[in-house]
Structure 1
Amino acid sequence: MASIKGGLPLRKTRIDPWKDEWEESYRNEKEKLKEVFKEELVDIFHIGSTSIPAIGFAKPIIDMLLACLHAKTLHRNDFRLWLL
């Protein structure tokens, strides 16, 4: 495995052609998160390269930003998020 100065290993990053299914994956995950956070949730945003079809390529990871009424909401639901 290749490494950079200091001996840290380099990770390979997979980049895929943009796919319509990423938007569907986002919607599915958004619904699961709405069930966890309920009334504490302000909004959920699809961010990152999978949210922008015009880019044409993206890392196949659905990035999401959650806005909650209180930061403690995320910590209170930490275990429930791991179960998703």
Structure 2
Amino acid sequence: SRNGALTLVIDPLNGIEVPTQFAKSNRTDLADAICDLRIREDTLVRHIGYLNLIDGTQRSNVYPDAIQSIRQWVYVL
């Protein structure tokens, strides 16, 4: 990992649900928040999924089946 950071690994076949934490972005624009994450994680925008509860938009190119689980998780918060 870079600079001692933990690496997120999603394994939809063999993985199990675990307690999850999150951090709020100071950004108010979703595109800006995604850009910040892209830079921090040194990845491509298309690899970053999102679920926008305000307007109902979503993207999950890498793990499309994860959106429903994330939607349920977010409403528990």
Do both share a fold (TM > 0.5)? no
* Structure-2-length-normalised TM-score: 0.29
Larger strand proportion, structure 1 or 2? 1
Larger helix proportion, structure 1 or 2? 1
* Structure-1-length-normalised TM-score: 0.27
Greater gyration radius: 1
Higher relative contact order structure (alpha carbons within 8 Å, sequence separation ≥ 6): 1
